[in-house]
Copies of this chain bind each other. A is one copy, B any other.
Amino acid sequence: MQSFEINRSDFLKIQAALEGSDEELALALKEYHSTEIAILFEKLSVEDRERIINILPTEEASDVISEMDEEHNPGELLVGLDPEKRSEIIEELDYDDATDIISQLDEEDQQELLADIDQEDAINIRALMSYAEDSAGGLMNTDLIKININSTKMQALDEVIRQSEEMEELHTIYAVDDADVLQGIVSVKDIIKARVNTTVGELMITDYVYVKAELDQEEVAKLISQYNLTSIPVVDDDMRLLGRVTVDDIIDVMEQESTEDILKISGVSEDEELSGNWKEAVKSRLPWLIINLATAFLAASVIRLYDAKGPIMAYITIIGGMGGNAATQALAVTVRRISLSDLSDKQAYVTVLKELLVGMTNGAANGLVVSLCAVFFDGNPMLGLVLFLAMTGNLIVAGLTGSGIPLILKRVGIDPAVASSIIITTFTDCIGFLLPLWLASKLLL
């Protein structure tokens, strides 16, 4: 099967079915997976979406709503539904999905939705809503299998079967004491293989990775990825088990963090929606361009300062531009490296040193080409020397700033990706114009 793409023909099929009776529509919808219906929803009016949700069986309706993109307002769709249908759908949602969707709504709608549903569900959702959206607590699900450490093999197996009836899939089983304090983790396999009188406390592994509810979601993603976990328990300050984050929850986190990295190092605000409209894009990008305009004036003032003319004017644009490109390269490698794992001071030092060497080598190689041009094309070996030194110098600056600035920002607690190529290339523009003009003023007279 190939990745699903919304096809014009799928859309037309659903549009045609929307003209017909509920039965015809239900039949047409049977051909689509809930994810696919969620994608088709993006093109449909609110009325059509409500009609489809009303026609679908509760379980599928709740799948569709949980798979709708946040920007298409699944919460508002819920608000518009008949209260009874709505409550059924919310009760069917996983707690973490329900929390995400309900959090989008205003206070009044939240209260209304939560008042109508099963009280236990409402309590769980309210508890999840109290955590920051981008923390382990905001990401976790409270559906999990937990067993008291004093249970025997048979009691444990019964509990696993009982608790798993409410869950989609079996995952790790958590062993807790009477106060709900996490003591260890245990696998179904180990319970099945154990002798009859063994207790969970004897079977459990006590050397496991866990996170506090406040931990930033990016750190949770790093842990799950580094330790190859399928889930990670979330605890409060007293080590009481609150929930678990599963690996599929962090897929979206990882995509989002990567998108933010790419946008930020390219001078786009991290909150620009990739598929947003042009006005939002202007709002997200113009401030960066204006900042850069100010710094570009700085670089240009170097040119005014020396009031140079002749062939060197063409060459300085080359040296400035090459510096910008080399800095962008060093920046991309460094920012991505910081994103994937934290660097020790030693590693940071080695990284900057490496970029210094790379800048020197690439600078000398490109400088040689440019200086040969000056010799053969302009017949001016001294200009060649000036350009060689300037290119090498500027690419060293590119390597040092491209790697050093994100590392410094990380250490003072600022997101390193903010050291966007737009900011860093200002350095290389200024130095790229200044170096050849200054050298020329000293060496070419």
A: residues with CB less than 8 A from B are: 1-8, 33, 35, 67, 161, 164-165, 167-172, 187-189, 192-193, 207, 209-212, 215, 219, 222-230, 246-248, 250-252, 254-255, 258-259, 261-263, 265-268, 272, 274-275, 277-278, 281-282, 285-286, 288-290, 292-293, 296-297, 299-301, 303-304, 309, 311, 313-315, 317-318, 320-322, 324-326, 328-329, 331-333, 335-337, 340-342, 344, 346, 354-355, 357-358, 361-362, 365-366, 369-370, 373, 421-422, 425, 429, 433
Q: Which residues of B contact A262 (CB under 8 A)?
A: 258, 261-262, 265, 332, 335-336
| A246 and B4 alpha carbons, distance in the complex (Å) | 19
Does B247 contact A225, Cβ atoms closer than 8 Å? no
A417 CA / B172 CA spacing, docked (Å): 39
Q: Is the CB of B325 within 8 A of A289?
A: yes
Asked if A251 and B225 make an inter-chain contact with CB atoms under 8 angstroms apart, the answer reads: yes
**Contact indicator B300/A315 (Cβ below 8 Å):** yes
Residue of B nearest to A264 (CB): B332
Cα A355 to Cα B250 in complex, Å, equals 31
In the complex, the answer to whether A169 meets B167 with C-beta atoms within 8 Å is no
Contacts of A254 in B (CB 8 A): 251, 254-255, 258
In the complex, which of the residues B7, B165, B318 contacts A192, with contact meaning CB atoms closer than 8 Å?
B165
When the two chains form their complex, are residues B373 and A297 in contact, meaning their CB atoms are under 8 A apart? yes
Contact B266 A227 (CB under 8 A): no
CB distance from A64 to the nearest CB of B (A): 12
Asked if residues B170 and A429 are in contact (CB atoms below 8 Å), the reply is no
**Minimum C-beta distance from A31 to chain B (A):** 9
Minimum CB–CB distance from A316 to chain B (whole Å) comes to: 8
Prevailing SS type, chain A contact patch: helix
A250 cross-chain contacts in B, Cβ below 8 A: 251
With both beta carbons as reference points, the residue of chain B lying nearest to A162 in the complex is identified as B192
C-alpha spacing A248/B180, complex, angstroms: 28
Report A106 CB to chain B, min CB distance, Å: 27
Bound Cα distance A311, B248 (Å): 57
CA distance A225 to B314 in the complex (A): 49
A111 → chain B closest CB, angstroms: 29
**CB proximity of A445 to chain B, nearest CB, Å:** 19
Chain B residues lying within 8 Å of A255, measured Cβ to Cβ, are: 225, 254, 258, 340
A152 to chain B, nearest CB (A): 18
**Given A258-B258, A261-B262, 8 more contacts at CB 8 Å?**
A165-B189, A169-B171, A169-B187, A170-B188, A266-B331, A282-B358, A292-B321, A303-B317
B225 pairs with A252, CB closer than 8 A: yes
User: Within the complex, which residue of B210, B230, B286, B340 is in contact with A365, where a contact is CB–CB below 8 Å?
Assistant: B286
Contact of A340 among B247, B274, B315 (CB under 8 A): B274
Q: Which residues of B contact A337 (CB under 8 A)?
A: 274-275
Contact A263 B336, beta carbon cutoff 8 Å: yes
Contact across chains for A421 and B328 when beta carbons are under 8 A apart:
yes
8 residue pairs of the A-B complex, CB under 8 angstroms, read: A167-B189, A225-B251, A230-B246, A230-B248, A251-B254, A258-B262, A272-B333, A297-B318
Partner of A2 from the list B33, B219, B251, B272 (CB cut-off 8 Å) is B219
- Nearest B residue (CB) for A328: B266
CB distance A289 to B226 under 8 Å? Answer: no
CB pair B223 A1 closer than 8 Å: yes
- Most central of A169, A281, A290, A321 by chain B CB within 10 Å: A321
Chain B residues with CB below 8 A from A429, complex form = 317, 321
Q: Is the CB of A3 within 8 A of B433?
A: no
A183–chain B nearest beta-carbon distance, Å: 15
Q: Which residues of B lie under 8 Å from residue A290 when comparing CB positions?
A: 365-366, 369
